[in-house]
Amino acid sequence: MDFEIEQKKIVELVDEYEGGRTWGKFTGDVCCRIIKRHVENHLPEQFRAVGPNVYVENNPTEFDILIVNKKDSPKEYTSMYPLDGIHCIIEIKKSGLFGGRKDLLRVTRKIREGFLSVTKLKPEVKCAYLTVKEVAKPKNKSSINYFEETRNGLSPYEAFVLQEHRTKQIVKGEWKRFINYLFPPK
């Protein structure tokens, strides 16, 4: 499937399943499952996507999606995967982060610390934040550019946005950039 078509399809599916509901956990769960399904279209043979609500061995942080070695299984009675088999960690938001700058700083710090808790033990793990929709082009210069603030707050980890929330414009090439970050072309 063409990356641009797939990106548009993801946004449409998220809108369709949201259907005006404000059920945070439900719509967040559905959003994660939609992203996971589309990431699976690009997985190298040796990996698989697991989630939502998964953990890395000996780490209390809940992650949305992990890309793990295909042969690895979670520890019995858990959704906790061995650190050695983790390739990527993906944090997903349907509509980005909300609140003022202090709230953004607090939330991005928490996400970044979750990523760091794994990468300090296994530096080669790729960590990515993906939001389906986010304000990246505020109306006023004094308004918060939520995506820029999020990207800066998560640095050095990567952040991606599929659609500009206010204008409803697809951010061209972002899905392809996300997939190529996770699985660089050879």
Q: What is the pLDDT of residue 39?
A: 98
Bridge partners (DSSP) listed for residue 127: 89
- Average pLDDT score over residue span 102-127: 92
How many other CB atoms are there within 10 angstroms of residue 185's CB atom? 6
pLDDT band at 104 (very low <50, low <70, confident <90, very high): confident
Pick the residue with more confidence: 98 or 123? 123
Q: How far apart are the first and last CA of the chain?
A: 19
- Average pLDDT score over residue span 134-160: 85
Q: What is the pLDDT of residue 20?
A: 67
> How many domains in the chain?
1
Torsion of CA 37, 42, 48, 52, to 10 degrees: -30
Pick the residue with more confidence: 1 or 121? 121
Percent of the chain with pLDDT over 70: 95
Query: What is the model's pTM?
Result: 0.92
How many other CB atoms are there within 10 angstroms of residue 79's CB atom? 15
| pLDDT digit string, tens, across residues 58-96 | 999 999 999 999 999 999 999 999 999 999 999 999 887
> 3-state class of 113 per DSSP?
helix
Instruction: Name the residue range of residue 97's domain.
Output: 3-182
Domain containing 170 — which CATH number? 3.40.91
Q: What is the pLDDT of residue 27?
A: 82
